[in-house]
A and B are shown apart, each in its own frame.
Chain A
C-alpha cells in the first residue's frame, strides 16, 4: 500500500510552504511575502528506517479558482462523478500554461492525496475563497483546514465558521511558532482523515518522538563536550629565557580567547545541525571570561623535565655511579659511594638547572620560560557556558524551519547569565562533574565517564517542557 500523501493547498501567501517547512523540518523551502513563491508541487516524504510513512506535497496557490470552478461546473455530470471531472480538468490542462497552478495543486489530490487547506487567521474571510473550497469539495478527498494566523489572530472565529461548512476537521496552528507537540497533534489529525492512514501516521509520530529524544540526548552530549573542551583548554608557549615574554603573553591571551570562541561556535553549529538548521545567523553577545589572571609562567626543560625531576635524576645517576664503586669494593664502603654520589649528583642537578636552560643545542634552547594561558579555574565559568548553551538550545529546538532571520540569544531583562533555573538542587553535583572534567585527560576513561555523567545531568535541562516555556527566536 502506498504511504498516505497530503497536499497542502490554498490561496497564495497563506503559509502553505511555511507549514510544509515546519512539518518537514526543511529550512530550504522558499517562503516569502511575494505571491507565487512556489511554482511546482514538491514532495516531502517522511521516511523512518527507510520506510516512507507519509508524504507532504507543497503546492502553488490557486490563481484562477473561479475559472476552474466554471470549467468543472460546465462539465459536471452529477455529484457522483465530480472527482472524475476534476481528474479530467487536470488531464486536459496540465500541458497548458493558463491553469498551471491549479493542475500542480490538484494533481496530487487526483492521485489520492488528502487535502490540507491553509488560510490566514489574521486576515478576514472573503468570497474569493468560496471557489477554492468548492473545487476541493469536488475532489471528494478527505480534507482538513488549518487556520494559520500570520499576525494578530483576530479573524480565527469567522474563519472557523466558514471552514466548518466545507471541512470535517479545522485546526488552528501558528505554523511559524508551532511547538513540537502541536506539530505532532496536527500529524495525528492527518491520520484521522481516513482509517487506513491512522497507523502510518501513528508510526511516524512515534518515530518523530523518538527522534526528538535522540536529538535532545545528542544536544546534551554536545553541550557536555563543549564544557569539557572549554574547561580544559589552555594555550602554552615555550620561550627561551631571553625572549620577550610580555609580547608573547598578549598573543597567548588573544589566541586563548579566539579558541574558546571557536569551541563555542562549533558546539552551536553542532546543535543547530542536530535540529536540521544550516548556517543560522546568530545574535549573541561574546562570552566574557570571568577572570583576568589566567596567565601563569613556569620554567621548562627539555624532555618536559622539571627542576625537581632533574635533581632526582641527577641524584640517581650519582648514586648509581657511587654504587659501582661500592660494588668494586665488594660492599666494604658500606654504600658510602652511593650516598656521596647521590648527594653530589642531586646538588649538581639543583644548581645546574638554570644553566641548562640557557644552553642551546643546534640553536634550540634546552629550557626557558613556559607561558600558560588558562584553563579557567573560575567556578562560575562552566555554569555560564552551560547557561549560554541551554539558552541557545532552547531557541534552536523551539524554532520552526519556516522561521527566517537571525536567532536572537540575548538574555531577557532580569535573566542572569549565571542563573539557570533548572540548576536548582543539582548545582553541587554539576560543580563536582566540572571538577572531574578539569582533572581528566582527553581520551581517558575518567573523561569518558565524567562526560557521560554530565550528559545525563544536562539531559533533563533540554526536555520538551523546557522548550515549551522557551524563548521564541
Chain B
C-alpha cells in the first residue's frame, strides 16, 4: 500500500531535502532532467501542494539515493533522541524541584506559597520570552530592547539543549546537524525561522515535561505521603485577619477557572486563617490539624495543572504549529527546490529521444592531410560527376583537348558502369590522370565512392591518379574553388578510401593542362 501523502515536513525532512538539493548542485541539467522525467509520473499529479510534492519527491529520491535515505533516518533518530533526552532532563529537574518545594519532614508545614512560586510562578514568568519571540518582527524592531531581551532569553532557552545534544550525540548522528548548519551558513536568513522555532518547540517541550512531572510528583506525594500545608510570608500588614482575607481573595481569584466545576477545590477563609504559620513560633501539628491542613492539596494540584501544565500545552502547540509553518516555508524557499518543481512540471511534456544516439564505429580516423601538388598537363579525361553546373565553354578553355564524360546525377548506375568499362578497355598507363569534377557543396556519397573505386579497378594503374576537383558554388558557372570546409569534407571522406593515387585538388590551377 502506498504511503499516504505528507504535507507537514519535520526537521529530518529539511535536513534530507537540504542534502538532496546539495547533491543536485553537482549534477548536470540533463541528468536532473532525466531523473525528474523518471520520477514525474509518480510524484506529479499526486497533489498540487508544493510541500507535499517536495516530500513525495524526497521519498523517491531516497529510494534511489542511499546516502539521502540514510541521512534522513539519522536525522529522524537524532530528533527523536533529542526529544527523549530533553524530556528526561525536564523530568529530572521537575521531580527535584517538586521534592524541594514539597519538602516536609513532619516538623513543620509545606509552604503553599513556596510551592506555587517554584512550580507555577517562576514557570509562568518563563513564558515571557516565548511571547516576546512570538511578537511580529516589525514590533520587535520598533520596541527598544525587545530584540535584545529576546536574544538573551533565546540564548538561555532550554531549547538550546537540543543544539547541544546534537553536538554531543554519536558521530553518525551529527552529520544532519552539520549539513543544516553549513546550509544555514549559506542561507542564514532562510533557515533562521526554522531554527528559532525548533529551539522554542524544544524549550516548550522541556517546560511541558517539567510541569507534567511537577503535577505527577505532587499527586504522588499527596497520595503516598502525608503533607500538612500552610502559608507563611514576611510581607505582613500586622493584621492576621486582614492578611488571611487578602490571601483568601487571591486564592479565590486563582481558583476561578475551576470553581464552577469543583467549588471545594480552594481553601476556605477558615483554613487559610488556621494554616498560617510562623517559623519563629512553630509548634508541632496535631494529627487532626494535619488532616485539615492537607485540604490545601486540591487547590495546589489544580493550580499546577491549570497555571502550569495547560499554558505549556498551549505554548507547545503554538510552537509546534509555528515550527511546521516555518518548516513549510523553508522547504518552499529552499534554494534549488523551485528548480525541482519546474523540472517535474516540464517533464510532463517529453520530446527528446529516449535512447542515446548510436555513433558510427566504422568511421576510421581520416588520413593525414597532404597538400595538393600541381598535376601539370597529364590529364587524359575529365568526368563531370552529377552535372556540375559549369558551361562547356569554360571547360573547353580550361582543359583544351581533354575528352569530357558525364556520370552520376541523372545518369543511371548502368551508364556509370558502362563508362567505367570504357576506361578499362582503353586503359593505357602512360596516358595520364583522370580528373573528376564534383559539386563542392554536395557531400561525397557512397555511390561516388563506388564509382571511383570501380574506376580505379578499371584503369588498374597506380601511376595514373584520379584527381577529384570540388567546384565551388558560383553564379556565373565558372570553376570557382570550393570553400575550405567543403574541401575538408571531401578530403576526409576520400582519405578513407585508402587509394594513394586518389587525391582532392583544391583549385583548378592545380590541374590546368
Contacts and interface: CB of A to CB of B under 8 A. Distances in A.
B: interface residue count bin: 35 or more
B497 to A, nearest CB: 14
A392 B173 CA distance: 44
Nearest to B342: A218
Of residues B41, B148, B408, which shows the largest number of chain A Cβ atoms within 10 Å of its Cβ? B148
Contacts, number: 202
B350 A35 contact: no
Contacts of A33: 485, 488-489
Given A48-B349, A123-B442, A40 B386 contact: no
A215 interface: yes
Contacts of A128: 386-387, 408-410, 442
Interface in B321-376: 326, 329-330, 332-333, 338-339, 342-343, 345-346, 348-360, 363
A312 B326 contact: no
Contacts of B345: 214, 218
B510 to A, nearest CB: 23
A177 interface: no
Contact of A309 (B144, B353, B413, B441): B144
Contacts of A47: 349-351
B142 interface: no
A215 B351 CA distance: 15
Contact of B445 (A34, A35, A50): A35
Contact of B493 (A35, A40, A274, A447): A35
Contacts of B30: 28, 278-279
A316 B447 CA distance: 98
Contact of A303 (B137, B151, B354, B358): B151
A432 interface: no
A67 B409 CA distance: 12
Interface stretch (A57-65, A168-176, A361-369): A57-65
A270 B445 contact: no
Contact of B360 (A36, A46, A313): A36
Contacts of A124: 389, 473
Interface stretch (A19-27, A282-290, A415-423): A19-27
B432 to A, nearest CB: 28
A148 interface: no
B369 to A, nearest CB: 15
B29 A269 contact: yes
Contact of A313 (B152, B155, B386): B152
B235 interface: yes
A399 to B, nearest CB: 15
B349 A207 contact: yes
A49 B348 contact: yes
Interface stretch (B158-166, B174-182, B187-195, B267-275): B187-195
A456 to B, nearest CB: 16
A255 B135 CA distance: 34
A211 interface: yes
Given A64-B447, A312-B144, A316-B145, A24 B441 contact: no
Nearest to A208: B349
Contacts of B145: 308-309, 312-313, 316
B346 A211 contact: yes
Contacts of A38: 357
B3 interface: no
Interface string A291-309: 0000000000001111011
Contacts of A448: 332-333
Nearest to A37: B360
A215 B319 CA distance: 38
Nearest to A70: B413
Interface residues of A, number: 80
Interface string B422-462: 00000000000000000101111111001000000000000
B147 interface: yes
A207 B345 CA distance: 13
A473 B359 CA distance: 28
Interface in A437-469: 441-444, 447-448
A12 interface: yes
B33 interface: yes
A13 interface: yes
A34 B333 contact: no
B278 interface: no
Contacts of B353: 24, 26, 28-29, 42-44, 58
B492 interface: yes
B26 interface: no
A343 to B, nearest CB: 16
A180 interface: no
A309 B148 contact: yes
A63 B445 contact: yes
B412 interface: yes
A27 to B, nearest CB: 9
Contact of A35 (B387, B389, B443): B443
Contact of B190 (A62, A273, A442): A442
Most buried by B among A225, A278, A309, A313: A309
Interface in A244-275: 269-270, 272-274
Given A24-B352, A33-B485, A46-B350, A12 B445 contact: yes
Contact of A443 (B330, B439, B446, B493): B330
22 contacts: A12-B443, A28-B30, A28-B352, A38-B357, A40-B358, A50-B41, A65-B447, A126-B386, A126-B409, A126-B442, A128-B410, A273-B32, A303-B151, A303-B152, A304-B147, A310-B148, A312-B144, A316-B145, A330-B235, A443-B330, A444-B193, A448-B332
Given A44-B351, A48-B349, A316-B145, 9 more contacts: A24-B352, A40-B357, A42-B355, A47-B349, A50-B41, A66-B408, A123-B473, A232-B189, A304-B148
Report the 7 A-B pairs with minimum CB-CB distance, sorted nearest first. Answer: A309-B148, A312-B145, A35-B443, A127-B410, A63-B446, A278-B29, A26-B352
